[in-house]
A and B are shown apart, each in its own frame.
Chain A
Amino acid sequence: MPIAIAFDSGGNAATEPWIKAAKPTYPCLIDRQHIVAELYDMVNVPTAVWIDTLGKIVRPSEPAGVTDAFRKMNHTDFSIPADAMSELQAKRKAYLDAIRDWVANGPASRFALDKTEVLKRMHTPDDAQVRAAANFRLGEYLFEKGHAAAAQKYFEEAKRLRPESWNYKRQAWALEDPMKPGGPEFWAAVDALGDRKYYPGAEDI
C-alpha cells in the first residue's frame, strides 16, 4: 500500500491540483506540520520508507528513485540534457523494480534490508536537529494563525540549525513566494553544495 505524504504547509490549496491530477488509488495525506518528516527524519522530497507487514522499518528514509542528475537542468528553460535524463530514468526504474521485487517476495526480497543494515543506514536527529524541528513547528503554527513575518523568523532558525534540510528551505520559500523554491536562491543553494549530494544515499538501492 503506498501512502503519499505531502509536506505542504499550504494545505489543500497547495496540494489539491497535484492530487486530483494523479487520481490516486491510495491514501494521499496532507502534512502541514511536516510531522512525518520529524518522525522518520526526512530532510527532502521525495523520500521513502519501507514498512513491512509487522509494522517494522525494512528500508529507512532514503531518496525515492531520484538522483543529483537534475542539477544539470537548465535554470531558465528547465530542459535536462539527454545523459542526465537517461540517468534519472534509469534510477527511477531501478527503484520501482526494487519495490516490485519487494511486493512479490516480501521479506525474501534482497531490497528488504536486515536489521543491521537498516540501523547502519538510518539517521537519527541530534539536539540541534530536534531544535530545528521545534522551530519549524512554531513557525508553521504562527503562519497558520496569519503571522507570516513572525513565522519566517522561526523558519530561518530551523534552516540555520539544520542546513541540510531542503524541506525547511523550500517550504519556507514557498510560503513567501510560490516561485522561490525553484528560483535563483534555490539554484545558488544547490550550487553551494559543490561535490556534496542534494540526495545523499540515492546510490544505494
Chain B
Amino acid sequence: MTIDIIYGEHVATGVDAESKDGELWLSAEDLKRISGWEFKPQGFCKGDVCVPVPDARKSEFVAGGRYNLAALANLLGQPVVTDAEHDAWCFGEAATERKRVLTSLDAPDFSLPDLDGKMHSLSEHRGKKVLLVSWASW
C-alpha cells in the first residue's frame, strides 16, 4: 500500500509500505531517506549514534528485507500518531531528544519560507544577535 509519512520536518508521500497492527515496514532505502536511520550490524544507526536491537526482538524490527519504522520509533521514545482512513503516519520527536537539544542551549536551526516562497534559515544569521518572535493572524 502507499502511505504518507510525516517525519520530523519532512513529508514523504506515496511511500510503498506494509502497515498492520501498529507496524510500518519500509525498504532500507525508504527508511534512510525518510528517517535518516539505517540498519547495521551494531543496530540502527544515524550519524554517530547507534541503537542496538535485542536479539530476542530482532524480528519486530527487521524482516523480509524490510524495517519496522514504528518499532524503531517506539524504541526511541518517539510519539507516533496515525490516521488509518487517510493512510497517514506522523512521527514526532522524542521528549528526551527535545530536552537534549534544548538544554545544550544551541538554538535549533530551521528553514521556513517568506511570503514569496523563498526559504530562510536561522543559521544564515549566525554572527548576529537574533530576536526570534512568534505571532499569528489569529
Contact = CB atoms under 8 A, between A and B. Distances in A.
A16 B132 contact: no
Interface string A140-164: 0110010100100010010000000
Contacts of A31: 112, 134
B4 to A, nearest CB: 7
Contacts of B43: none
**How many interface residues does chain B have, given as a range?**
35 or more
A42 B130 contact: no
A7 B92 CA distance: 18
B1 interface: no
Which secondary structure characterizes the binding site on chain B? mixed
A3 B131 CA distance: 6
**How many interface residues does chain A have, given as a range?**
35 or more
B83 A150 contact: yes
Interface stretch (B15-23, B24-32, B63-71, B113-121): B113-121
B6 to A, nearest CB: 6
Given A8-B138, A18-B137, A135 B129 contact: no
Given A125-B98, A131-B81, A45 B9 contact: no
B115 A45 contact: no
Given A1-B128, A3-B125, A142-B83, 19 more contacts: A3-B133, A6-B135, A6-B136, A6-B137, A10-B137, A14-B138, A30-B114, A35-B110, A38-B93, A38-B98, A46-B135, A47-B134, A124-B102, A125-B95, A134-B92, A138-B82, A142-B86, A170-B136, A178-B138
| A-B pairs, 5 with minimum CB distance | A134-B92, A174-B138, A29-B112, A138-B90, A131-B79
